[in-house]
């Protein structure tokens, strides 16, 4: 039974292709990451409290106003853990192993400002790569070594990292095709 889920996380930019976001980040520089380009432990400049992250990451690409989730969700709310379509956050279409998972497999049911790992440990959105890495282990390893993902900043010194959701929507991660830029002129046409 296919469950069409609209997760109660953050509205994802379903309209635009994922690449454009990644390209936009590159062209304007990593938002916040540039400030933390000077070596040593990075302070992650994001809306919520600064956390000591393992990696200097760009802030999570939240939609305006959607975070903190505790604005609407209280830890004491009653939670129905049955996978089902939900009314709010209806614009989010889950297209990410939706046969076997739904919102609360990643988002914590009680502390909506956090995500949770498979064993129940809570993690911040700024460490979402730990969650993604539970299924995508080799990708996480490559990401840590700088092979996976767009590289910005400096090839020497401390690496700047983008969070997984900066390029891949966690709800519909598959990249959409892009319109290519113009082909080169045929050499006969160069006059």
- Residues binding other proteins (CB under 8 A): 19-20, 22-23, 26-27, 142, 145-157, 159, 167, 175, 177-188, 190-191
Nearer to other proteins, 9 or 61 (CB): 61
CA angle, 96 then 79 then 11, to 5°:
40
Check whether the bond before 94 is cis (ω within 30° of 0): no
By C-beta, is 43 or 159 nearer to other proteins? 159
Which tokens sit at 35? 């400030």
Q: Report in angstroms how near the CB of residue 161 gets to other proteins at its nearest.
A: 11
Q: How far apart are CA 43 and CA 52, in angstroms?
A: 7
Question: Which SS3 state, helix, strand or coil, does residue 115 take?
Answer: strand
Least spacing, CB of residue 100 vs other proteins, in Å = 22
Residue whose C-alpha is closest to residue 102's, from 81, 83, 122: 83
Nearer to other proteins by C-beta: 16 or 85? 16
Tokens of 21: 């976001």
Min dist CB 189 to other proteins, Å, is 9
> In the complex with other proteins, which residue's Cβ is closer, 34 or 124?
34
Closer to other proteins by CB, 130 or 150: give it: 150
Phi, psi of 79 (to 5 degrees): -115, 130
Distances (CA, A) of 101 to 35, 81, 112: 37, 12, 17
Place of tokens 């709310």: 77
Question: Residue 24 CB, nearest distance to other proteins (Å)?
Answer: 9
| Cβ atoms of 181 and 24 closer than 8 Å | no
In the complex with other proteins, which residue's Cβ is closer, 43 or 148? 148
Closest contact distance (angstroms) between CB of 155 and other proteins is 4
> What's the closest the beta carbon of residue 97 comes to other proteins, in angstroms?
18
């Amino acid at each position: 039974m296919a469950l069409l889920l609209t997760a109660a996380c953050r509205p994802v930019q379903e309209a635009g292709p994922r690449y454009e976001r990644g390209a936009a980040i590159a062209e304007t520089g990593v938002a916040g990451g540039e400030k933390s380009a000077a070596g040593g432990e990075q302070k992650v400049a994001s809306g919520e409290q600064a956390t000591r992250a393992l990696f200097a990451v760009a802030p999570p690409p939240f939609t305006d106003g959607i975070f903190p989730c505790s604005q609407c969700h209280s830890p004491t709310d009653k939670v129905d853990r049955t996978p089902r379509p939900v009314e709010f956050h209806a614009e989010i279409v889950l297209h990410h192993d939706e046969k076997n998972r739904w919102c609360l497999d990643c988002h914590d049911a009680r502390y909506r400002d956090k995500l949770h790992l498979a064993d129940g440990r809570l993690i911040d959105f700024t460490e979402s790569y730990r969650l993604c890495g539970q299924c995508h282990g080799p990708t996480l390893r490559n990401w840590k070594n700088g092979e996976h993902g767009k590289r910005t900043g400096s090839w020497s010194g401390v690496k700047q990292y983008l969070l997984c959701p900066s390029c891949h929507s966690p709800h519909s991660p598959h990249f959409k095709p892009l319109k290519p830029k113009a082909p080169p002129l045929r050499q006969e046409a160069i006059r």
